[in-house]
Amino acid sequence: MTTNEVIEMFDKYVIANYGRLPRVITKGQGCYLYDNEGNKILDMFPGWAVSGLGHCHPKVVDALRHQAGELLHIDNTFYSEPQGNLAKLLSERAFGGKCFFCNSGAEANEAAMKLARLATEKGKYKFITAEGSFHGRTFATVTATAQPKYHEGFLPLLPGFIYVPFNDIEAMENAFDDEVAAVLIEPIQGEGGINIASNEYLARIRQLCDENGAIMILDEVQTGIGRTGKWFGYQHSDTVPDIITMAKALGGGVAIGAMMAKNEVAEKLVPGKHASTFGGNSLACAAGIAVIEAIEEDDLLQNAIDIGQYTQEKLNQLADKHDIIDHVRGVGLMIGVQLKINGSDIVSKCLENGLRINCTNETVLRFMPAMITTKSQIDDAIEILDNVLSAGV
Ligand SMILES: *Cc1c(COP(=O)(O)O)cnc(C)c1O
C-alpha cells in the first residue's frame, strides 16, 4: 500500500487520538526503522522508550519464537515458569521484593496505588504527586498526572490527590498529614521534560513516608530496565522505595507491566483484591527474561552509561554552536535538550533527513537511544541535527 492509502485507511477506521508523523513503518532492526517507501530512519527514540534494546533484538525474537511454540498464555489459575523466573530476575536486580504483572505502565501504577491504600492504616487515602509528572491515562493515573492539559474534559477526577512542585522539599513536607497513603513520583520525569529528582529530595520523601506510615512509590516505567545505566533510576541514590512500577522497556517491544513491592507491603495483596487477565502472560514474560539476559550478556548497562556520556558531550558541543539550545541534561540514555523555542519543527525536519527524535513539554528535544547504540550512530544523529539547526528553524 502507498503511504496515502494507509493514511486514508486510518482516517476512515482508526480513532484519531494520536498526532502521527506521515510515515508508514514496515520494519525495525536495531537502531533503524524502515518505511514502505524504502527510507531508512535512524531511531533515537525507539518505541517511545519501549524498544530499549532496539528493534527486534535477536535474543528477544528467539525467546518469543521458542515460547510461542510451547505456551502462549496461561491464566493465573495456574503456576508457570516464565512468570516466576521473570519475577526472580527483577527482584534480584532491585530490592528483593515481590512482583505483580500487568500489561502497561498505567496498570502498574493503578496496582501500586490500590496496594498503598490496602497496606496503610485505615483513614489514610491521599496520594501526593508532582507537577510535571506523567503516570498514565486511566482515571486514577491521569489524576495522579499533575498536568492540567491531561485533565481537560475529564472532570471530575478522582478525589484524594495532592499536587506539589517537583524537587521542592518544603512543599513535600507541607503536603504531608496523617491521611497520606503514598507519595508517587518519577525518579526522572520523562514526559515532563527530563527533570531529575535530587538525591536529597528522594531521601526526604523516604523519611517523611517512614515518619507518617505512608508508602513511597517510584514510577520507573520510563527510567527502569537499564535506561539510566542502572537497572532502576532509584539506584543512583541511597533511597530505597517501598514500591516500583515498570513497563515500557521491560518486554523489549511486547506489552508488559509490573509492580514490585517490598515483602511486608506485597503480602497485603491477597486473592480477590486485584488481578489482570493477561498479567504475567507466558509470551510477555519470556520476552522480559530475554531482555534482562541480553542486557547482562552484552554488558549494556555500561554501554548505556558510556553512550549516554558521549551523547551529552556531543549535544553540549551543539549547544555551544547553536544559540537556540539552552542546555543539555540527563542520566544515561535519558537525555533532554532544553531549547529556547518550540521543538516540533525540528523533530519533523530531522525525520525528513532520516533521524527520529522526540520533543516533549514543547521545548525539550528528547534523545532516548537504545542500549545497543554505537558512537558512530550517535555521530550520525548529531550530524543530522546539526544540519537541521544550521539550516534555520
Ligand atoms: C509511559 C509512562 C506511563 C504510562 O505507561 P502506559 O504503558 O502508556 O500505560 C506511566 N509512567 C511513566 C513514567 C511513563 O513514562
Q: For the chain, give every domain's residue range.
A: 1-43, 59-297, 299-342
Strands 243-246 and 257-261: antiparallel
320 alpha carbon to ligand 1 midpoint, in Å?
33
Residues assigned a catalytic role: 134, 219, 248
The preferred substitution site among 143, 222, 243, 364 for testing ligand 1, maximizing ligand atoms within 8 Å of CB, is 222
- CA 223 to ligand 1: nearest atom: 13
- Contact in structure between 371 and 323 (CB atoms under 8 Å): no
- CA 109 to ligand 1: nearest atom: 10
Q: Which helix (H) or strand (E) holds 333?
A: none
347 alpha carbon to ligand 1 midpoint, in Å?
21
3-state secondary structure of 115: helix
pTM for this model (two decimals) = 0.98
As for ligand 1, residues whose beta carbon falls within 6 Å of it are 104-106, 109, 134-136, 186, 190-191, 219, 221-222, 247-248
Local confidence pLDDT in tens for the 393 residues of the chain: 999 999 999 999 999 999 999 999 999 999 999 999 999 999 999 999 999 999 999 999 999 999 999 999 999 999 999 999 999 999 999 999 999 999 999 999 999 999 999 999 999 999 999 999 999 999 999 999 999 999 999 999 999 999 999 999 999 999 999 999 999 999 999 999 999 999 999 999 999 999 999 999 999 999 999 999 999 999 999 999 999 999 999 999 999 999 999 999 999 999 999 999 999 999 999 999 999 999 999 999 999 999 999 999 999 999 999 999 999 999 999 999 999 999 999 999 999 999 999 999 999 999 999 999 999 999 999 999 999 999 987
**Residue 86 CA, distance from chain mean position:** 18
318 alpha carbon to ligand 1 midpoint, in Å?
30
The three cell numbers of residue 170 are 518544603
- Contact in structure between 150 and 163 (CB atoms under 8 Å): no
The preferred substitution site among 51, 129, 133, 135 for testing ligand 1, maximizing ligand atoms within 8 Å of CB, is 135
- Quote the CA–CA distance of 149 and 132 in Å, as a whole number: 10
For ligand 1, atom 10, the nearest C-alpha belongs to 135
Strands 325-331 and 126-130: unpaired
pLDDT value, residue 264: 98
The three cell numbers of residue 326 are 539552552
The preferred substitution site among 184, 191, 221 for testing ligand 1, maximizing ligand atoms within 8 Å of CB, is 221
pLDDT value, residue 392: 85
For 355, list phi and psi in degrees, rounded to 5: -130, 130
For 195, list phi and psi in degrees, rounded to 5: -105, 125
- CA 219 to ligand 1: nearest atom: 13
Q: Which CATH architecture has domain 59-297?
A: 3-Layer(aba) Sandwich (3.40)
- Quote the CA–CA distance of 216 and 280 in Å, as a whole number: 24
